[in-house]
Structure 1
Amino acid sequence: MTSTAERSLDGVPLLTATSDGSMHTIMERIKQAKQSGIRRWLTGIPFRPSLGVLRPSFLDRSTDAKPLHTTAWLDGIRGVASFFVFIYHFQHLFHTSFYTGYGGNNGKNDYWLIQLPIIRLIFTGGPMVSVFWVLSEISLSLKPLKLARSQAWDKFADTMFSSVFRRGLRLYLPVLAVQVCVLLATLVGLFDRAAELRKNWPFYGTNEEMHERKESAWAQISDWSREMWAFSNSFRPIRPSYDVHLWTIQLEFRNSIILFATLVGFAKLRPLVRIRLTLVLYLYCVLVEEGDVALFIAGIGCAEFLLIREERSKHLPSTEKQESQQQSSRTKVLWAAVYILGLHLLSIPAGRYEYTPGYRSLVRFAAHFVKNTEVSIQRIGAAVFLFALCGSDYLRRVFETRLAIYAGKISFPLYIVHGPLTHILGIRLVPFFWSIVGDATLFQYEVGVILAFLVLAVLVVWVADIVMRTIDTPSVRFGRTLRSWCVGKS
């Protein structure tokens, strides 16, 4: 008769000690246990080997029936801003006039409609980065602040742990996966034409920095590895040559950690005290010209404001709700004015802003408090713009459309793929279309640029959609799975 003592790991028998002392059985059980754990760990990654992965998600009608959540407009703004950044990073290769504002260059190339405030936001990238950062921190702050306001401290602690643990994975895993593809594309020569054009830049715009082709595959891999290692250090931000647009990722991660520390430090304060200290901290960051940190702090303030409005709406009696809705119609003009003010501040040009109508007096006033007036004004504009949207439901509607929400879903993948695709294909398409329509006149020049952008935009959106489903979403699931695996059962 055989006596058996069993232990289990992850639901798989680990040790089965029998009277014959079979070590082979024991080792097999250990192997099964490890394999079971690894299988569960990888379940967050949906492998889809079929060609169906190439089908864009917006063609799947099953996604249309999903109701919008209350903060869907945040995704919509993120999507619009991401696409505007893409437009900027393409058009600045072929133009320079967007650096100055309308009427800001003594009549020299300063009379284009695209140089006007608000309109120019479609073609400039810096303001959209500022909007990104406020948006990101509103999203990250909403749940912790809601738990803090309800004094659910156990859930608050668990939420903050999860946020800190997964933040780096959320930002860096998709980027790393795309950058591996960039390395492979470099090795097979897809960037060679862009490198040739850089040596004798044929366009009127910025000759954007990019990586060099090395003499051997090993040298290229070594160069890429050093670049990615430096890129991993968020305390020393760089513009990685394999995609210079990724500099924002390092600041996003670093400032997210600052945000989490601020949320923990402010959590148990009375709401009114927390709001006042958030405002003080925001103003301090603006005055010491840590504008990127100020935007993250502004996100806390906007999130708190959203929660206050939500709580007041829930607790109002039905009669008072009707009166409040009637009063809100009279405040639409006020919120619209704040909204337009934010957009105007966001629109300050990067060059000769001190001579640009609409900004001259503002710049002189701001110079008493900060040195880098243009960036400070722009970042204040981002905070004002988002604050207006937090206070006004009707202003959000344009960002709750199906197109805006879809753009929000692919916004991060679009951001990390548009740079490489522009260098691989975009700058090759422009000379191709010029060979068809000509480039002797300004009209022909612009037609070639616009046609190239339209073709590139289709490819970028398609690739971003694929990356969203195969890399970005699985990375989020992997972070959650890894967190659960590391924590274990409580």
Structure 2
Amino acid sequence: MGGTAMDGSLWTRPRSSSARCAVATMMRLSGPKVFLDCCWPKSSAESSWSNNCCNSKPLRPTAYLDGLRGFAAFLVYIHHHQLWAHGAANYANAAVFENAFGWRGLFHLATVPGIRNFFTGGHMAVAVFYVISGYVLSAKPLALIQGEEYGKLADNLGSAFFRRWFRLYMPLLITTLVYVTSWHVFGFWNPVCEPKDTLREELWNWYVEFKNFSYLFKEGPVWVSYNTHLWSIPLEMRGSMITFIACLSLSRASTTKRLISQVLLMIYFIYIVDGFYGALFIAGMMQCDLDLLSKRSDGSFPRWLRRAERYKVFIYYHFFAISMWLAGVPSQTADVMDLRGNPGWYWMSFLKPQAVLDPKWFYLFFAANMLVACTPRLGWLKRFFESRFCQFLGRISFSLYLVHGPILATVGDRLYHAVGYVRPFAESQEHMAPWTNILPLPKVGPMGMELAFLAPHVILLPLTFWVAHVATRTVDEPAVRFSNWLYKKTLPSRLGVAFLVDGLGTLGRDLASRVYGEQDDTGLCERVCWFILALYYMYIQHLMGVFRSILETVGI
């Protein structure tokens, strides 16, 4: 487990700051405000692109993580579209994307190490999601641990535990429900899963799938047939719990032993059991711990890391290069022998530990860690992820992840059929016959950048961004507010008593100060009255304090 906006100025940006302000003003004054607020981007990290010019706000210190997460979500979008379209034209083409440069004598620009991440970087993106979540979720608890504020730590972790399920699963529940009902309401064919005969049967099947999918301790595959791209959400939930538990269990440990424990946890999750997501979350937690320690002047930051800072440019550029290479690990299958058959990966395949069932996650563990670590230390890379476009992607990243699959399976499938990418399935060809080759385009250009592939994205890309933005405003952000509201509703009523006691105490002290006021025109009788009133409020405060102690004693 946090953009910049995209309005008309994304495509035709005004030349001057004053012109951009004028456009922003005209947009606010034209049309119903509610419609614009709900259906048009409004950010700078949170406000609209045009508003950002008029009233810009400084970026948060971790804004680069928002941008990195957003760009990673964009890579997931690209990855799935590449495989869908090229798998339709020829399944072997889709396999080329998932294998190394030179596999079976095939050489394409889209498979060159480093470059391939812009075409099939979706796997790397998920690993980056987990590292970022481990970093962000542990930031506040670790700050409290380092400050030895254990009472506040308990409150923070209690709130985080409570809110996490709602934060992750409420947007998923709503978006899948809308998708499930859509093909019954509008009567269109859905290529993802076999529709039920009636809406009632569909809703029951959806309910059964969702309740099992959202169960933290569910065994077996973590798939929901209505949107298979969401398999990573249950692992996100489990990784979040691992992070919270690690923060709590290591809260009293010394700095050195806490860091050693984090290393041991990563070794456990990646080398002893198949828990790659746990290792990625703990890695993010450790990076956050080190970043916070580096800002302290008490000598708690490891000395050997402090001494290595003089070589940081050399180190982090190598981290970046290695991460880009490892991010392109061949991932067509989970068979290590297939990995071994890819050029450049024969010897690397022997590094895979026995515990990891899918080899790619072992290599992506190191790739994602290195990328997240080097991003704030390489100025040009940090500036890119702090750019308006990446900040916008960061704000809509979760919704983009949720909605890009349904849009691909409905609008995207039809547009790809229209330009000539026909899926090789009899049922698909039957239902998509009215759309097939409406506007056939030549498949010219490098693989992954063919004209026929790029043309549909003139519609698909802005449509997906817009739907993701609407989902962010109407589903994702309200889910965050709802989880906060619900948690506050569960707090005991005695907190209200505490607030009342504090309020009465303040009032009593104010009244008492009037007794000893410096105003010369205050008469003796008036001062006596103020004094009696102050004593009365002090007495009430004392009674309320006794009442609070009784409540705490009996555990109410």
Tell me the TM-score range normalised by the shorter chain: 0.7 to 0.9
Residue 347 of structure 2 aligns to a residue whose secondary structure is: helix
Q: Alpha carbons of 1:270 and 1:330: their partners in 2 closer, same or farther (altered >3 Å)?
A: closer
Q: Alpha carbons of 1:465 and 1:368: their partners in 2 closer, same or farther (altered >3 Å)?
A: closer
Residue 112 of structure 1, CA deviation: 0.5
Kindly provide the CA deviation profile for residues 246-282 of structure 1, in whole angstroms up to 9, marking residues without a partner as x. Answer: 1111111122112111110111111111111101110
Kindly provide the CA deviation profile for residues 19-41 of structure 1, in whole angstroms up to 9, marking residues without a partner as x. Answer: xxxxxxxxxxxxxxxxxxxxxxx
Deviates most, 387-396 or 451-460: 387-396
1:256 paired residue among 217, 240, 244? 240
Instruction: Summarize the alignment of residues 267-306 of structure 1 with structure 2, pairs less than 5 Å apart.
Output: 267-288=251-272, 289-306=274-291
Contact map agreement 2:419 2:441 (CA 8 A) in 1: no
Matching of residue 68 in structure 1 with residue 52 in structure 2: no
Q: Distance in 2 between matches of 1:308 and 1:488?
A: 35
Residue 364 of structure 1, CA deviation: 2.3
Q: Alpha carbons of 1:417 and 1:373: their partners in 2 closer, same or farther (altered >3 Å)?
A: closer
Q: Alpha carbons of 1:155 and 1:392: their partners in 2 closer, same or farther (altered >3 Å)?
A: farther
Corresponding residue for residue 36 of structure 1:
none
Matching of residue 181 in structure 1 with residue 165 in structure 2: no
* Matched length: 417
Residue 123 of structure 1 aligns to a residue whose secondary structure is: helix
Corresponding residue for residue 41 of structure 1:
none
Deviates most, 174-183 or 388-397: 388-397
Residue 356 of structure 1, CA deviation: 3.0
Corresponding residue for residue 454 of structure 2:
450
Q: Distance in 2 between matches of 1:229 and 1:263?
A: 28
Q: Alpha carbons of 1:239 and 1:90: their partners in 2 closer, same or farther (altered >3 Å)?
A: same
Corresponding residue for residue 480 of structure 1:
484
Q: Distance in 2 between matches of 1:75 and 1:230?
A: 30
Q: Distance in 1 between matches of 2:224 and 2:188?
A: 16
Q: Distance in 2 between matches of 1:482 and 1:368?
A: 43
Residue 396 of structure 1, CA deviation: 1.9
Q: Alpha carbons of 1:366 and 1:62: their partners in 2 closer, same or farther (altered >3 Å)?
A: same
Residue 165 of structure 1 aligns to a residue whose secondary structure is: helix
Instruction: Summarize the alignment of residues 150-299 of structure 1 with structure 2, pairs less than 5 Å apart.
Output: 150-189=147-186, 191-192=188-189, 194-195=190-191, 210-236=192-218, 237-288=221-272, 289-299=274-284
Q: Alpha carbons of 1:63 and 1:165: their partners in 2 closer, same or farther (altered >3 Å)?
A: farther
Contact map agreement 1:84 1:123 (CA 8 A) in 2: yes
Contact map agreement 1:76 1:400 (CA 8 A) in 2: yes
Instruction: Summarize the alignment of residues 18-417 of structure 1 with structure 2, pairs less than 5 Å apart.
Output: 50=35, 52-58=37-43, 59=48, 61-64=50-53, 65-95=56-86, 96=94, 97-105=96-104, 107=105, 110-124=106-120, 125-189=122-186, 191-192=188-189, 194-195=190-191, 210-236=192-218, 237-288=221-272, 289-311=274-296, 331-351=312-332, 352-366=338-352, 372-389=358-375, 392=378, 395-417=381-403
Residue 470 of structure 1, CA deviation: 1.3
Q: Alpha carbons of 1:227 and 1:460: their partners in 2 closer, same or farther (altered >3 Å)?
A: same
Kindly provide the CA deviation profile for residues 4-52 of structure 1, in whole angstroms up to 9, marking residues without a partner as x. Answer: xxxxxxxxxxxxxxxxxxxxxxxxxxxxxxxxxxxxxxxxxxxx96454
Residue 315 of structure 1, CA deviation: 12
Q: Distance in 2 between matches of 1:70 and 1:113?
A: 36
What amino acid does structure 1 have at the position aligned with 2:413? Answer: I
Contact map agreement 1:173 1:475 (CA 8 A) in 2: yes
Contact map agreement 2:71 2:390 (CA 8 A) in 1: yes
Q: Distance in 2 between matches of 1:368 and 1:424?
A: 40
Corresponding residue for residue 15 of structure 1:
none
Residue 373 of structure 1, CA deviation: 3.3
Residue 439 of structure 1, CA deviation: 5.1
Kindly provide the CA deviation profile for residues 431-470 of structure 1, in whole angstroms up to 9, marking residues without a partner as x. Answer: 2234466356555993222111331111010011111111
Identity %: 30
Which residues of structure 2 form unaligned runs of 5+? 1-32, 87-93, 333-337, 421-436, 496-556
Which residues of structure 1 form unaligned runs of 5+? 1-47, 196-209, 317-323
What amino acid does structure 1 have at the position aligned with 2:296? Answer: E
Q: Distance in 1 between matches of 2:74 and 2:316?
A: 25
Q: Distance in 1 between matches of 2:76 and 2:230?
A: 12
What amino acid does structure 2 have at the position aligned with 1:349? Answer: P
Q: Alpha carbons of 1:469 and 1:189: their partners in 2 closer, same or farther (altered >3 Å)?
A: same
Deviates most, 73-82 or 221-230: 221-230
Q: Distance in 1 between matches of 2:446 and 2:350?
A: 40
Residue 190 of structure 1, CA deviation: 5.5
Contact map agreement 1:117 1:348 (CA 8 A) in 2: no
Residue 290 of structure 1, CA deviation: 1.6
Residue 161 of structure 1, CA deviation: 0.6
Residue 94 of structure 1 aligns to a residue whose secondary structure is: helix
Corresponding residue for residue 471 of structure 1:
475
Deviates most, 437-446 or 232-241: 437-446
Q: Alpha carbons of 1:216 and 1:444: their partners in 2 closer, same or farther (altered >3 Å)?
A: farther
Residue 485 of structure 1, CA deviation: 1.5
Q: TM-score scaled to structure 1, two decimals?
A: 0.79
Q: Alpha carbons of 1:422 and 1:191: their partners in 2 closer, same or farther (altered >3 Å)?
A: farther
Contact map agreement 1:291 1:379 (CA 8 A) in 2: yes
Q: Distance in 1 between matches of 2:72 and 2:226?
A: 23
Residue 136 of structure 1, CA deviation: 0.8
What amino acid does structure 1 have at the position aligned with 2:51? Answer: S
Q: Distance in 2 between matches of 1:381 and 1:126?
A: 11
Kindly provide the CA deviation profile for residues 268-300 of structure 1, in whole angstroms up to 9, marking residues without a partner as x. Answer: 111111111101110121112321111111111
Contact map agreement 1:343 1:382 (CA 8 A) in 2: no
Kindly provide the CA deviation profile for residues 98-121 of structure 1, in whole angstroms up to 9, marking residues without a partner as x. Answer: 01110132x1xx201111122111
Contact map agreement 1:341 1:381 (CA 8 A) in 2: yes
Q: Which has the higher contact order (CA 8 A, sep 6+)?
A: 1
- RMSD, matched Cα: 2.7
Residue 143 of structure 1, CA deviation: 0.8
Q: Distance in 2 between matches of 1:284 and 1:315?
A: 25
Q: Alpha carbons of 1:270 and 1:364: their partners in 2 closer, same or farther (altered >3 Å)?
A: same
Contact map agreement 1:345 1:378 (CA 8 A) in 2: yes
Q: Alpha carbons of 1:275 and 1:52: their partners in 2 closer, same or farther (altered >3 Å)?
A: closer
Deviates most, 370-379 or 142-151: 370-379
Residue 479 of structure 2 aligns to a residue whose secondary structure is: helix
Q: Alpha carbons of 1:153 and 1:61: their partners in 2 closer, same or farther (altered >3 Å)?
A: same
Corresponding residue for residue 429 of structure 2:
none
Residue 57 of structure 1, CA deviation: 2.1
Q: Alpha carbons of 1:329 and 1:262: their partners in 2 closer, same or farther (altered >3 Å)?
A: closer
Corresponding residue for residue 425 of structure 2:
none
